[in-house]
Amino acid sequence: MGEFAVELRDVVKKFITPEGSELAAVNHVTMQIRHGEFFSMLGSSGCGKTTTLRMIAGFEWPTEGEIYIDGVAMGHTPPYQRTVNTVFQSYALFQHMNVFQNVAFGLEMEGVSKDETKKRVGRALEMVQLTGMDRRFPKQLSGGQQQRVALARALVKTPKVLLLDEPLGALDLKLRKEMQLELKALQQELGITFIYVTHDQEEALTMSDRIAVMSLGRVLQMGPAVEIYERPTSRFVADFIGESNFLEGKVKSVSGDQAVVVIPAWNEDLTGIAMTQVKVGDDVAVSIRPEKIRLTEDARIKENCIEGSVVSSTYIGSDTHVYLDVRGQRVKVWEQNRISTLDPRAYYQKGQKVWLSLMMENTLVLPRD
Amino acid sequence: MSEKKPPVWLRVYTFIAYLYIYIPILILIIFSFNTMKLNVRWQGFTLSWYNVLFHDSQVLLATRNTLIIAFVSTIVATIIGTLAALAMQRYHFPGYNASETVMYIPIVIPEVVMGIALLVFFVMIKFTLGLVTIALSHIAFNIPFVALVVRARLHGYDKSIDEAAMDLGANEMTTFWRVTLPTIMPGVLSGALLAFTLSLDDYVITYFTAGPGSTTLPLRVFSMVRFMVTPEVNALSTIWVLIVFIVLLIGQIAQSRRA
């Protein structure tokens, strides 16, 4: 058994565009995916996540670099000789075969006996809760059921790694949420490595052990959900995952992992935690999540405390989204509605003066990119 | 879909439109059972013309020729046309647009022109005219029709089903036979049916490329009716219409089963 389930070493994939120029869809990507891990590649369309997945599956070959599956270099190994299986975004079910035949196809290719096939297909269909649907054809199934057939068809092969290309993209929100939990439970039960491609950050945060955030063919940051959200190392990641307020400034002094940043727009200094190595004089962006800012009637703490006025306030049930004007800068703050009341004053009103406390540990200093 | 019934006038109109198309053929069928040798008025019922037909050795020979040519040209044209359509679907190569356009030109070229061209070509390369030249010509004009029909069917073909098959352990060959071909089969069958019927009743191109002893049914019928249309020709036409009708029916059933 290799050290990693899948490893990519400095992988590059170049395509020739219709205009004839070269485009690196995947640009020097290195990642190590551990055995039994739920690993997600997250990014907007065109970031290279699907191309990376297709290279692991064997549908595309890297222009440079090497992909290892369970420690074995893949080179130009065709898909049918790899120990990985794929669940496609379009499900890609065989329309001329019924559910049983679809799921049995992979076993038939391996030359598994009839009895054994019957047993394993039965178990796979049970796993995705489709028992009794064997004789149905894909056209007779709902989107969610087709999705389950696609899943069973891949899982019946007991792959070492399951590749999932936005498998829930075509389902409605409620079903998607259900399937997210089911997929996660299934992955933990089977202990198979899942490599999951999605553009939905919430989906990635909910299910993954680790996430690789990708943009323009590169991996910007890789780590557990909490690390990606709480300790982004770039402005792009802080912006792409969740929401954030950004202020531009210059580093004034550094001590340990703390940095004092001059914010010219406010004519004020903010103390925050440096996410990367910074030195005095660096141009930086300060990022503060909207739910991590406290609003108070009066200035409670001296450091990182600043007055602003409410521009608008939106009640959305669990939270109130407050947009403020702070010395000419727009700042958004999510306030949790902890007290049940109909008093409009509890939900902030236009023109109201409030103090924002920006705690040092919530103030992240990021390189400006 | 609305289940509304059309108004009466629309139904009457539709009925008349169908009559317009089918009355001549109906009359032809009726007169094939007429005892009178001239197609002018109804005299009495007989099956004797069918008897005459089945003992007409020249008609039988022409039938045999026609069927051989239709089967051979359909099979070969279907294979080549389907492969061409698949290649156009799958690959983009230099000269792609040109090759696609050139592929469909034979459909719009006047048949007479194509017939003369083929004749000149066969004479030039000193190829003896006969069944082989007719079959080769039918293959040539059938390929674009098959390619066109299969290509239409391939439009929107999800190539990830081929990838899924390979992902599940099937090599390229197995993927083609087990997944690609069954998926496009309705299109291939429609293409084959079209090719078969086109070959069956082709007159112009066959006329130019036929040699001694390779007379086909359309050629035979034309020579039979040179002076007058006999009930024997009516009987032959009736059987012909019946066969084409059955072939189309089989095609329809095959199509609706798939869908």
Q: Name the residue among A72, A162, A59 with its Cα closest to residue B175.
A: A59
Checking if the pLDDT of A67 tops 80, the result is yes
Residue A208's identity, in one-letter code, is: S
In a domain, B31, yes or no: no
Q: Establish if B205 belongs to a structural domain.
A: yes
Q: Are residue A280 and residue A204 in the same domain, yes or no?
A: no
Closest CA to B56 of B237, B236, B240: B236
A115 has a pLDDT exceeding 90: yes
What is the model's pLDDT at position B21?
A: 93
Distance CA A219, CA A198 (A): 14
**Which of A235, A266, A285 is the C-terminal boundary of a domain?**
A235
CB contact under 8 A, A92 and B174: no
Nearest-neighbour CA in chain B from A71: distance (Å): 20
**CATH code, domain carrying A120:** 3.40.50.300
Chain B partners within 8 Å of A157 (Cβ): 168-169
A196 and A291: one domain?
A: no
Q: Which residue has the tokens 């049918």?
A: A80
Return the residue of B nearest to A159 by Cα.
Answer: B168
* C-beta of residue B141 within 8 angstroms of C-beta of residue B110: no
CB contact under 8 A, A78 and B174: no
Identity of the residue in A80, A94, A153 whose CB atom sits nearest the CB atom of B166:
A80
Burial of A108 (0-12, 13-18, 19+ CB in 10 A): middle
**pLDDT tens digit sequence for B137-196:** 999 999 999 999 999 888 888 889 999 999 999 999 999 999 999 999 888 998 999 999
Does A78 score more than 60 pLDDT? yes
Q: What pLDDT shows up at residue B46?
A: 86
The fraction of chain B above a pLDDT of 70, given in percent, is 97
Residue A76 pLDDT > 60: yes
Among A171, A204, A235, which residue terminates a domain?
Answer: A235
Looking at residue A303, what is its pLDDT?
A: 67
pLDDT higher than 90, residue A346: no
Residues A155 and A87 in one domain: yes
Same-domain check for residues A180 and A221: yes
Residue B34 lies in a domain: no
Task: Note the pLDDT tens digit of each residue in B85-129.
Answer: 998 888 878 888 888 888 888 888 899 999 999 999 999 998 888
Q: Which residue of A79, A89, A94 is in closest CB contact with B167?
A: A79
Query: In the listed set A235, A253, A284, which residue is the last one of a domain according to the structure?
Result: A235
Examine residue B22 and state whether it is found in any structural domain, yes or no. Answer: no
Range of lowest pLDDT (A191-205, B29-43, B121-135): B29-43
pLDDT of residue A300: 66
Contacts of A153 in chain B (CB under 8 A): 164, 168
pLDDT bracket for residue A304 (50, 70, 90): confident
Contacts of A145 (CB under 8 A, 6+ apart): A130, A133
Find the closest chain A residue to B162 by CA distance: A92
Percent of chain B scored above 90 by pLDDT? 47
Asked whether the beta carbons of residue B170 and residue A157 sit closer than 8 angstroms, the reply is: no
Say whether both A223 and A273 belong to one domain.
no
In a domain, B47, yes or no: no
ipTM of the complex: 0.83
Residues of B in contact with A96 (CB under 8 A): 182-183, 185, 258
Closest CA to A161 of A58, A252, A248: A58
Strands A22-33 and A38-42: unpaired
Distance from CA of A157 to the nearest CA of B (A): 8
Residue B26 lies in a domain: no
Is residue A347 a part of any domain in this protein? yes
On chain A, the residues whose CB falls within 8 A of the CB of B164 are: 86, 88, 92-94, 153
pLDDT value, residue A12 = 94
Q: Which residues of chain A lie closer than 8 angstroms to B171, CB-CB?
A: 78, 80
The two three-digit tokens of residue A32, written as one number: 């190590």
Residue A141 placed within a domain: yes
All residues of chain A having their beta carbon less than 8 Å from the beta carbon of residue B181 are: none
Q: What pairing do the DSSP bridges indicate for beta strands A161-165 and A305-315? A: unpaired
The chain B residues in contact with chain A (CB within 8 A) are 158, 160-161, 163-171, 174, 178-179, 182-183, 185, 258
Q: Which residue of B has its CA nearest to A80?
A: B169
Residue B259 has pLDDT above 60, yes or no: no
Are A119 and A81 within one domain? yes
Q: Which CATH number covers residue B152?
A: 1.10.3720.10
Same domain membership, residue A69 and residue A137? yes
Let me know if residue A309 belongs to a domain.
Answer: yes
A241: left (phi over 0), alpha (psi -120 to 50) or beta: beta
The arithmetic mean of pLDDT across residues A34-60, rounded, is 94
Flag whether pLDDT at B38 surpasses 90: no
**Alpha-carbon torsion (B71, B76, B77, B78), positive or negative:** positive
Interchain proximity A92–B171, CB inside 8 Å: no
d(C-alpha A324, C-alpha A332), whole Å = 6
Same-domain status, A185 and A77:
yes
Please tell me the distance from the alpha carbon of residue A155 to that of residue B110, in angstroms, as a whole number.
Answer: 57
CB contact under 8 A, B163 and A88: yes
**Are A214 and A263 part of one and the same domain?**
no
Task: Give yes or no for a contact between B193 and B87, defined as CB atoms under 8 angstroms apart.
Answer: no
Tell me, yes or no, whether B28 lies in a domain: no
| Helix (H) or strand (E) run with residue B49 in it | helix B48-54
A55: pLDDT strictly greater than 90: yes
Distance in angstroms (rounded) separating the CA atoms of residues B161 and A149: 14
Confidence band, pLDDT 50/70/90 cuts, at residue B257: low
**Chain A residues closer than 8 Å to B170 by CB:** 80, 105, 109
What's the pLDDT band for B2 if we cut at 50, 70, 90?
A: low
- Whether residue A181 sits in one domain with residue A254: no
Q: Indicate whether A321 pLDDT > 80.
A: yes
Q: Which residues of chain A are within 8 Å of residue B188 when distances are taken between CB atoms?
A: none
Mean pLDDT value across chain A? 91
- The answer to whether position B232 is within a domain reads yes
Note every long-range contact of A126-129, with CB atoms under 8 Å and residues 24 or more positions apart, other chains counting. A127/A152, A127/A155, A127/A186, A128/A152, A128/A155
For the beta sheet containing A38-42, the strands, ordered from the edge strand earlier in sequence to the opposite edge, are A84-87, A161-165, A193-198, A38-42, A210-215, A218-223
* Mean of pLDDT values over A52-58: 96
**Interior angle at CA B114, CA B113 and CA B120, nearest 5:** 90
Count: domains in chain B: 1
What pairs with residue A87 in β-bridges? A164
Same-domain pairing of A327 and A219: no
Same domain for A257 and A220: no
- Please tell me which residue of chain A has the smallest CA distance to B157: A92
CB contact under 8 A, A80 and B179: no
Instruction: Tell me, yes or no, whether A249 lies in a domain.
Output: yes
pLDDT in tens, B106-116: 888 899 999 99
Residue to mutate among B167, B173, B177, B180, with most A CBs inside 10 A, is: B167
Q: What integer pLDDT is reported at residue B44 of this predicted model?
A: 85
User: Vertex B235, ends B234 and B237: CA angle to 5°?
Assistant: 65
- Looking at A31-45, B85-99, B176-190, B243-257, which range is the least confident one? B243-257
Residue A222, in any domain of the structure: yes
Residues 6+ apart with CB under 8 A from A354: A295, A296, A297, A307, A308, A309, A310, A324, A348
Number of structural domains (chain A) is 2
Domain CATH number, residue A297: 2.40.50.140
Query: Contact A201/A233 with Cβ under 8 angstroms?
Result: no
pLDDT surpasses 90 at B74? yes
Six token digits for residue A182: 């089911």
In a domain, A180, yes or no: yes
Q: Which domain holds residue B102?
A: 56-258
Q: Supply the pLDDT for residue A302.
A: 65
What six digits make up the tokens of A253?
């002094």
**Which structural domain range is residue A197 located in?**
6-235
Place A8 in a pLDDT band, splitting at 50, 70 and 90. very high
Most confident range, picked from A351-360, B29-38, B71-80, B108-117: B71-80
Which chain B residues touch A84 with a CB distance below 8 Å? 167
A1, part of any domain: no
Q: What is the pLDDT of residues A130-151, one digit of tens each?
A: 988 899 999 999 988 999 999 9
As a whole number of angstroms, the distance between CA A294 and CA A333 comes to 8
Give the one of A92, A154, A157 whose C-beta lies nearest to B158's C-beta.
A92
For B168, the closest of A59, A89, A153 (CB atoms) is: A153
Confidence of residue B258 (pLDDT cuts 50, 70, 90): low
Q: Which position has the higher pLDDT, A216 or B39? A: A216
- Quote the strand ranges of chain A, DSSP E: 6-16, 22-33, 38-42, 64-69, 72-73, 84-87, 161-165, 193-198, 210-215, 218-223, 245-255, 258-263, 268-274, 283-288, 294-296, 305-315, 319-326, 329-336, 353-357, 364-367
pLDDT (average), residues A225-242: 93
